[in-house]
Chains A and B, each alone.
Chain A
Amino acid sequence: MSNDAGARELGRRAFLKGAATGTAAMATAAPGLAEARARTDEAAAPEAAVAAPPPNASQIARELSASPPASLTPLVTRPGSDLMVEVLKQMGVEFAAANPGSSFEALQESIVNYGDKPNTMPEFITCLHEETAVDMASGYGRAEGKPMVALLHGTLGLQHAAMAIYQAYYGGTPMLIIAGRDDGFIQAHTADDMAAMVRSFTKWDAHPKTLPEALAALQEGYRQATTAPTGPVVVVLDTEVQKEEAGDFAVPAYRPPVIAGLDAAAARRLAERLINAKNPRINVGRLRTPQGVRQAVQLAELIGASTSSQATVGPMSFPNRHASCGPGAATDYDFTLGLEIGPADVALMGPTIASIAATRDKMGVAFGGLRAKPSPPTAPLAPMAVKIGETIGLDAEASLPGLIAAVQILLTAERRDAIAKRAALTAAANRKANVEGVRKALTVKRTGWNSSPVSLARIYAELWPLIENEDWCLASPSVLSGSHHRELWAHNKPYSYLGLPPAGGIGYGAGACAGAGLAARERGRIIINIQTDGDMNYAPGALWTEAHHGLPVLSIMHNNRAWHQELMFLTFMAGARGRGTDRAHIGSTLRNPFIDYRKMAEAYGVAGEGPIEDPALLRAAFKRGIASVKAGRPYLIDVITQPR
């Protein structure tokens, strides 16, 4: 650190000390900001320290009027926030989603103005609620396997976003959250340890005190977010660091994370087992990135293994209509490899979020799904149970390059011939099984085909021929609408289906689809959103973000006019108690009045149509919707549906 920088840092720290302890002073009669900062002694009074001072007159004026922000360093020519943008560019961060807040106005200004191509890498994405910003990062992260940024304003933004962060943590979704911190402005918006509010459900956090530390923290945050267990990370950035003069400080080069995989010797041993197996199988769970999926395909093709996939339940798994995917010609597998899924003869399973829950959950909240669980009682294994073998606690994706290389070395011409024959048999058997499975599913899905309100199976069935030849992503959770895509659609891309809300939280879908729409817009992809009505109403402003940023999201309302699962629960509860099942709708339905989602979309600038109750009208409406989103205009079709 240069002397100048050191002097700046000393001054800033002295300032911070004063500001941090000045909380109580601000509660006194209308002190000016500078006056409040200067008054440090009174802050020692504990009763004052816990009081939440209301904004004073000047702060309110700043918040509500055109009063310009105080500039701590008015002659800054190379602000620290420009360097932060440089770091984000280096790491390939495409988007920063935010509901604007004064604690990151310096960084926001740099994003939209700095560089040869301002507002590019990252592009500032305007959200109407912080929950949407983080849900968008979830949708993007699950689709692409890499982080985007969600910018949050201090204590308020973090708390607005908390549920969405919690959900991202459960889902192991990589994202870089930047929380602005302004200790000199409204005290209710700041905190000494800002990240503590979400520490129990984030993977890593940092509150750097200097600009060099801030740049390093952003880089380390990105590494942490993308290293197994992937997840949301938080970097708290003080306004002073964002605004300070960087001088000639050079942005350090970004070093990608080094993720441990199998070493060469272990990879060779595993490759030998795969090669020597007469009927090998690879079960594929959720990998980290699309590159991992490509490598899993390469490995399966090299050894002619049959495979299984989780692509119909979530992202980053094996293409489920790949020739190898299915039971294969025979199910007497003599060696099974698990990639992020077990049990298997050998399962490569990197650490999950559950493995760090105890260290992050300092408050001992003990979130239900992440608590250490007692071992389940041992049950006798059924005949033909899946074999349980060795689980290696290493990241599968990081192990694949070495494993593929080892297999390639071991492949002889003779082996290649045998593998080709096996692969052909496997492909034929899988195609037959796949067709039979679809045929069987269709005999079920046709029931209620002409029903009004519309059958949910029909929505999925009508959609498939229209999107099959498009590059599509089903970004909405599907379980409440019957998950009919699982049997009817091909899930051949890492992002074909992005899965459920990881913690089961409603309100995630609309934002996640908008976030997936960011990735889609850049890649000529379209987003399919089977949007439940209950979910939509938590943060419908996501529609405006879709319109504003031209996101190709086709939202098809699963409008059953209820939080229907709750209606069923309530009905059961009333029935079990022998009381009025005819009042279970109270508090669990969306009636009187019905919500008009076409008008809602229109109000937010999204074209649409409906409500549709006649299923014969679906196909034409879907065609219009697909044409719209392919042209970069989001579209909403309100469909009145059967409840389930």
Chain B
Amino acid sequence: MTLSSKLAIVFLALAAAFAGGASAQTAGDPARGKTLYFDHGCYGCHGYQGQTGARNLVGTNSPIIAKPEVFLFFLRQRGNFLPMIPSTAMPRFSEKALPDPQALDIYAYIKTFKLDAPDVASIPVMGQIEASAARAYQAGR
């Protein structure tokens, strides 16, 4: 079983475990979260709007951000603290460094992200790139 498969199973299970009615923990403030998202360097790997970088946050259907409880669990256990899913990229965010209310603010901010991925056909420059790929090779060009 691959690491990503393990991850998916773990977090799908967690998402299921936390399934149910809305939690009081969802009451984060996205405005505060925006500042915290920047201050704690989340933008570093996920981009300022969760669209770019090493790991997109939107458009991925990730179970990690499906529920605030799963998100909190993920933050606390990442890094080198959970042998089953070790990571050398995603930091661990301890409660001391990022208390739950602040983490939930970040969660609330993340949930405001909207996928910005226009249809390829609607972007003229992408049509030009595709046409370029179809052109025959010419020596010296």
Contact = CB atoms under 8 A, between A and B. Distances in A.
5 pairs of A and B residues whose beta carbons are closest in the complex: A575-B91, A448-B51, A578-B94, A438-B133, A571-B41
Contact of A465 (B49, B54, B120, B132): B132
Contacts of A58: none
Interface in B13-70: 36, 39-41, 43-45, 47-49, 51-54, 56, 59
B3 interface: no
A448 B47 contact: yes
Interface string B90-117: 1111101110000000000000000111
B130 A435 contact: yes
A448 B49 contact: yes
Interface string A269-313: 000000000000000000000000000010000000000000000
Contact of B97 (A445, A449, A575): A575
A103 to B, nearest CB: 43
A461 to B, nearest CB: 6
A89 B43 CA distance: 53
A464 B43 contact: no
Given A442-B120, A643-B47, A435 B134 contact: yes
A642 B47 contact: yes
Given A447-B59, A464-B128, A490-B132, A579 B94 contact: yes
Contact of A431 (B49, B90, B118, B134): B134
24 contacts: A322-B137, A438-B129, A438-B133, A446-B117, A446-B123, A447-B52, A447-B117, A448-B47, A448-B52, A448-B117, A450-B116, A451-B48, A451-B51, A490-B137, A568-B44, A575-B90, A576-B80, A578-B92, A578-B97, A582-B36, A643-B44, A643-B47, A643-B52, A644-B47
B44 A564 contact: yes
B89 interface: yes
A456 B45 CA distance: 13
Contact of B52 (A431, A443, A451, A462): A451
B45 A568 contact: yes
Contacts of A584: 41
Given A431-B134, A451-B48, A464-B132, A575 B125 contact: no
A455 interface: yes
Contacts of A492: 137, 141
A576 B52 contact: no
Contacts of B48: 451, 453, 642-643
Interface string B119-141: 11001011011101110110101
B69 to A, nearest CB: 20
A280 B50 CA distance: 45
A513 to B, nearest CB: 22
A585 interface: yes
- A interface, how many residues as a size bin? 35 or more
A449 B128 contact: no
B131 to A, nearest CB: 9
Nearest to A572: B91
B4 interface: no
A568 B54 CA distance: 11
A578 B99 CA distance: 12
Interface of A: 297, 319, 321-323, 431, 434-435, 437-439, 442-443, 445-451, 453, 455-457, 461-462, 464-465, 468-469, 488, 490, 492, 564, 567-568, 571-576, 578-582, 584-585, 619, 642-644
B2 interface: no
Nearest to A437: B133
Nearest to B58: A447
Contacts of B36: 582
B120 A642 contact: no
Please indicate which of the listed interface residues B88, B119, B120 has the most CB atoms of chain A within 10 Å of its own CB.
B120
Contacts of A456: 52
A281 to B, nearest CB: 18
Contacts of A453: 48
A644 B120 contact: no
A582 B103 CA distance: 12
B39 A461 contact: no
Nearest to B45: A568
A108 to B, nearest CB: 37
Contacts of A322: 137
Contacts of B80: 576
A488 B120 CA distance: 13
Contacts of A449: 116-118, 123
Given A448-B117, A643-B47, 20 more contacts: A321-B137, A435-B133, A442-B130, A446-B118, A448-B51, A448-B116, A464-B125, A465-B128, A490-B137, A492-B141, A567-B41, A571-B40, A574-B91, A575-B92, A576-B79, A579-B94, A642-B48, A643-B52, A644-B45, A644-B52
A437 to B, nearest CB: 8
A642 B36 CA distance: 17
B47 to A, nearest CB: 5
A447 B44 contact: no
Nearest to A443: B120
A9 B126 CA distance: 68
A582 B49 contact: no
Given A447-B52, A644-B52, A465 B136 contact: no
Nearest to A441: B129
Contacts of A446: 117-120, 123, 126
A581 B93 contact: yes
A567 B96 CA distance: 20
A168 B8 CA distance: 44
B92 A576 contact: yes
A438 B130 contact: yes
B103 to A, nearest CB: 11
